[in-house]
Amino acid sequence: MYGDSSSVGGDIIFFLKSAQHQFVGLIRFKLISNISANLKPFIPLLISAILFGGSPIKDASEVFITSQFGDSVSIKMNTLHLNAEVLSQIQNITRQIFYRDELYYWTISQNDSTLAHAFLDNVLGKSMPITFLVLLNTEGEIISSEVIKYREAYGGEVGNKNWLSQFIHFSDTSDYSVGKNIDGISGATISVNSLSRGIRKIALLYPLVKDELK
């Protein structure tokens, strides 16, 4: 989920299809010539270990978090499981799916006081996933956001800090309309719309799961 075929050699091949700009991924392993039937139940765990454990995506996310808060804070990574009701509610509003029913997030704290949370997610660009991070304060307002991995030749302007700064202070009640409150980018229409919806998904999610966060 959080890597591409170039970053993990030939071990994983991504097949990505667009359905109304929604991200559907099918991942096939080539660990050896064949995978034993006994190993198949463990494939999701292997995917997480290969794609996220010690990955450049995790490292880049934590570097960005530290750049926003300094070295004096403590950051702790966790996994948030999303129930079907929450998924359905947010996906119906944004008209964009979550790729998985769980998200990685970080709790940023100082002197035992929680300062903020950061959520890592993917949305589909024109044909490849865009991996992004959203930081929110404890009131659910966006502090900052960052494109952690952009994989296509065009549309990378969505990673521009000036463009991303438009989301600062946005929350679950803000208007994320592209062309109204969010500027479009010539030549990056799909990425702009997809990432705007993805960031809104995180903002909508926060008040629903805030009490579950560690």
145 is in which domain, residue-wise? 54-212
How confident is the model over 25-64, as pLDDT tens digits? 333 334 433 445 555 555 555 555 444 545 899 999 999 9
Confidence of residue 195 (pLDDT cuts 50, 70, 90): very high
In a domain, 19, yes or no: no
In a domain, 37, yes or no: no
| Sequence-distant (≥ 6) Cβ neighbours of residue 59 within 8 angstroms | none
In a domain, 29, yes or no: no
The string of DSSP codes covering 146-210 is EEEEE-SSS-GGGG-HHHHGGGTT--TTS---BTTTB---TT-HHHHHHHHHHHHHHHHHHHHHG
In a domain, 49, yes or no: no
In a domain, 33, yes or no: no
In a domain, 68, yes or no: yes
In a domain, 10, yes or no: no
Of residues 164 and 1, more confidence is placed in: 164
Check if the beta carbon of residue 25 is closer than 8 Å to that of residue 1: yes
- In order of 38, 117, 124, 137, the CA distances from 114 in angstroms are 42, 8, 31, 9
Q: What is the pTM of this model?
A: 0.77
Strand order through the sheet with 129-137: 74-81, 102-110, 113-124, 129-137, 142-150
Single-letter amino acid, residue 128: M
Domain count, the chain: 1
Q: What percent of the chain has pLDDT over 70?
A: 75
In a domain, 26, yes or no: no
- In order of 8, 141, 187, 191, 203, the CA distances from 78 in angstroms are 23, 20, 36, 27, 18
* Length of the chain measured in residues: 214
Average pLDDT over the chain, rounded to whole?
83
Check if the beta carbon of residue 105 is closer than 8 Å to that of residue 77: yes
Single-letter amino acid, residue 97: I
